Amino acid sequence: MRQVIYAWNYLEWGGAQVHILAIAKEAKNSYDVSVVVPKGTDPQFIKFLKDLEIEVREFQGHAMVQPVNGIRNRIDRRIKKIKSEYSMLKAIEGFDLSKAVVHVDLLPHSSLGALLWLSTRTRVFITSHNAMPPASRWREALWRFKARVISKFPNFNVFCSNAHAGNYFRHQYSAEVGERMKITYTSVDPDQIDNALAAPDARETLRQRFEISESDFVILCVGNFIDRKGRWTYLDAASRITADPELSQIKLLWLTPSLPCEHDMQKVDEYGLGDRFRLVSSSEVGTERQDILMFYRIADAFALPSFVEGLPIALLEAMAMGLPSISTNVFAIPEALIDEETGILIEAGDDEALAGAMVRYYRDLNLRERLAKAGSEHVRHSFVDKEVAKIAIAEYDRVFEELR
């Protein structure tokens, strides 16, 4: 039977992996599906895969996704990345690639060699979630050169998970690759959302478990607790709110796949927010994908103050769950969150605006209800996982048909 192999070489999981899961669970109806990941991948995510009856193969070594300082650390990080890519490719080589599609989370600007290796052996797809950040002319020229090199290989194909990324990358690759490029939107599963909303007493149970009063107004963020997600902007806004005694009922949570290092936890403590802010690890919430969705029920509003994003799954899930949402005017976020229509947009890094938007939601029930309803309808109409999966699977089918 034909096979789809999904692969990446880092331990952290987030929106990109949820996006892959949405496609993989539909692809299983037509293909054998396997996932290749590094040893040490979060057991919770491995369980998500096994619950879908997807084969998991592991390899030794992983890349570091967190930024580092110093030349030596950067060199070490680069070496570790190259070694992990080599191990991943060797694991992929263990499959019969003549009957496979490999959908890999690599980009030409940083992993050209690995993509060239794959593209000479099998049909390759990548998904780009956001445009490249602004850079010097020589660096942008280098990125485009690499994109044009890999474009020469007919086995190489590109998905983009939002229109903003698609518009950017169509000018990076050759006209042929750009013409084949499809938008596979980051998406939600309406059935999972409805099941999470239908669970009886979920809000009350969650608030009791995490010692939150029913009278508290809870603002939630979901995602890796990292700089590009705007973690310090979020805490700066929290500081503004906690300084006002009239806002004592506002509490802020951040649900993250893994807790940060000790140094970052110390920095969090220095904010002196006490019980007004809490970092929650997803392992505290549960082991099922549905447990993560259910956790949104604890909140009254959602905020994601990212600096760099494609179209974040956490934002779409929050909106679909009926939470009035706040996010930043960057990359593809405005494709889902339309300012004052389906949510509130602020500029990245503006903690004063973030705090102001949080307070607006706290004080204005009509605003919350209006934007929550419009946001939920917009996501459920435009960002549905089964429809996105059909686009990806049709492309898998196309590349096999072209071999006949």
Residue-wise pLDDT for 181-197, tens only, equals 999 999 999 999 999 99
Contact 294, 206 (CB under 8 A): yes
Q: Which two tokens stand for residue 150?
A: 């890999």
Q: Which residue has the tokens 């990941």?
A: 37
Q: What ranges do the domains of the chain cover?
A: 3-187+385-401, 190-382
Which of these, 229, 223, 353, 211, lies nearest to 296 by C-alpha position? 223
Confidence at residue 136, expressed as pLDDT on a 0 to 100 scale: 94
Q: What distance lies between CA 395 and its chain's CA centroid?
A: 22
CA pair distance 319, 69, nearest whole angstrom: 37
* Cross-strand bridge partners of residue 38: 59
Confidence at residue 403, expressed as pLDDT on a 0 to 100 scale: 66
Confidence at residue 287, expressed as pLDDT on a 0 to 100 scale: 84
| CATH 3.40.50.2300, domain 190-382, yes or no | no
Q: pLDDT tens for residues 196-233?
A: 999 999 999 999 999 999 999 999 999 999 999 999 99
CA pair distance 357, 193, nearest whole angstrom: 25
Contact 266, 184 (CB under 8 A): no
The model carries a pTM of 0.91
Low-confidence stretches of the chain (pLDDT < 50) are none
Instruction: Name the phi and psi angles at 208, rounded to 5.
Output: -65, -45
**Superfamily classification of domain 3-187+385-401:** Glycogen Phosphorylase B; (3.40.50.2000)
Contact 314, 304 (CB under 8 A): yes
Q: Which amino acid is at 212?
A: I
Which of these, 278, 211, 217, 223, lies nearest to 256 by C-alpha position? 223
**Cα–Cα separations (whole angstroms), residue 91 to 39, 127, 262:** 12, 20, 34
392-395: list long-range contacts, CB under 8 Å, 24+ apart: 392/23, 392/27, 392/125, 392/159, 392/182, 392/184, 393/23, 393/26, 393/27, 393/30, 393/31, 395/125, 395/157, 395/159, 395/180, 395/182
User: In terms of C-beta density within 10 A (0-12 exposed, 13-18 middle, 19 or more buried), how is residue 46 classed?
Assistant: middle
CA pair distance 259, 361, nearest whole angstrom: 28
Judge if 3-187+385-401 and 190-382 fold alike in CATH terms. Answer: yes
CA pair distance 25, 27, nearest whole angstrom: 6
